[in-house]
Amino acid sequence: MIKILDMKRVSENEIFLRGLSEPDVFAPVAEIIAEVRARGDAAVLDFTEKFDGVRPASLELASEEWDSAVDSVEPEFMDILREAAENIRAYHSRQLKKGYEIREENGVILGQKLTPLARVGLYIPGGTASYPSSVLMNCIPAKLAGVGEIIMVTPPDKNGGVNACILAAAKVAGVDRIIKCGGAQAVAALAYGTESIPRADKIVGPGNVFVAEAKRQVYGAVDIDMIAGPSEILVISDEKTSPVVLAADMLSQAEHDKMATAVLITTDAKLAERTAEELERQLSELPREEIARASIENNGKIIIADSIEKAIELSNRIAPEHLELCVDDPFNYLDLIENAGSIFLGRSCPEPLGDYFAGTNHTLPTGGRARFSSPLSVDDFVKKSSYTYYTEEALNALCDKIAGFARREGLEAHARSATIRKRLKGGN
């Protein structure tokens, strides 16, 4: 049964405290990365055989196999994928930016140049669930940004194939190549390159604790989107929301994995009790009951607050991945929300809208990182360069000031670099 707590008697650190802890996988991940760096494809194939139970004849998925898998997907689901993709494109296309240039009267030119990344690696999990939605969410912003090549890595099944729905989403989103490998070995291959897998500039996409740790360890050799932790949802509700709805929304994240966290903050004690009862009823109906129950019983909480404003104050300190605001006139409270990955407003806006269809991105900061980071966007797939142009006259007017600044920092060569052109022209 989920815990029911009084906001006045619980610290913010307790609220997303998990009853289970993630294993320490630093050493085995480091070993896998070292092996892939040393032995390339051979190591990737060895680890694929060890962890996935199959050794593909070729790491790259053949185009014929890809097309055949897509043809096997029901037309109705293909239509859903295409419509979801269009919603994602429509939302993310508004994020496209251009560089800028400033031209001064004295001939000085300053600017910023935006350049898309050349190659991005997209990690898509296999295992207990397949996520074609993650293909759309990670690939479409990259394509809009103008990334030159998108390589998707995903674990093969026991027969050496790849989930057809994932391949269909890859086709719709515009993935260029698909590599049949997963785990830390796939991350290492994308970070450092092998005979078959070219080195990427950035790795994006969700994964288990081994994938997350691998991304952490290769960061610096390659960019990453974020270190994603277990899924989180925080629901704030007054007394008017149905407990059936609240329980369903909490379970939508609890079923991800046993480490997921689902929290309800409500102003009504009776609603808290009814939601706890409803959670028990709905849990018994879920195909993934074991996973969802472990999440709810170990990590889930219902908290009773004095007001919606107090609930939002607490939420801001927690900085959840997903925040649902189930109240009348939710826009009246929007400006009070400071820290949340994605915000769902009103009683008719369940979190799965953002997961699949609305168009906002579902790759979000977890573990309180919404205090300082943002959802995946087009910006994540471009790099910015500044540029500067000075005329000879404009430099000469400033060189003594530049030199004075440099000498204050004890950097004489910097000072001379600024003044030497003027001295050479003067013959000194």
Amino acid occupying residue 6: D
Active site residue 321: yes
Classify burial at 18, counting beta carbons within 10 Å of its beta carbon; exposed 0-12, middle 13-18, buried 19 or more: middle
- Taking alpha carbons only, the member of 383, 382, 366 closest to residue 374 is 366
Contact between 126 and 163 under an 8 Å Cβ cutoff? The reply is yes
Closest CA to 213 of 201, 227, 231: 227
| Nearest alpha-carbon partner for 174 in 81, 72, 90, 96 | 81
Structure tokens at 304: 């009773």
State whether residue 199 is helix, strand or coil. Answer: coil
Contact 162, 125 (CB under 8 A): no
Q: Can you say how many angstroms the Cα of residue 168 is from the centroid of all Cα atoms in its chain?
A: 21
Cα separation, 340 vs 84, whole angstroms: 23
- Select which of 35, 322, 324, 362 is catalytic: 322
Helices (H), 25-131: 26-39, 41-52, 63-71, 75-93
Q: Residue 174: CA atoms inside 13 Å, Cβ hemisphere, count?
A: 17
| Active-site residue, from 278, 321, 324, 351 | 321
171-194: buried (b, 16+ CB within 10 Å) or exposed (e) per residue?
bbbbbbbbbbbbbbbbbbbbbbbb
3 state DSSP class of 152 = strand
Catalytic: 414? no
Question: Assign residue 107 a region: left if phi > 0, alpha if psi is -120 to 50, beta otherwise?
Answer: left
Active-site residue numbers?
321-322
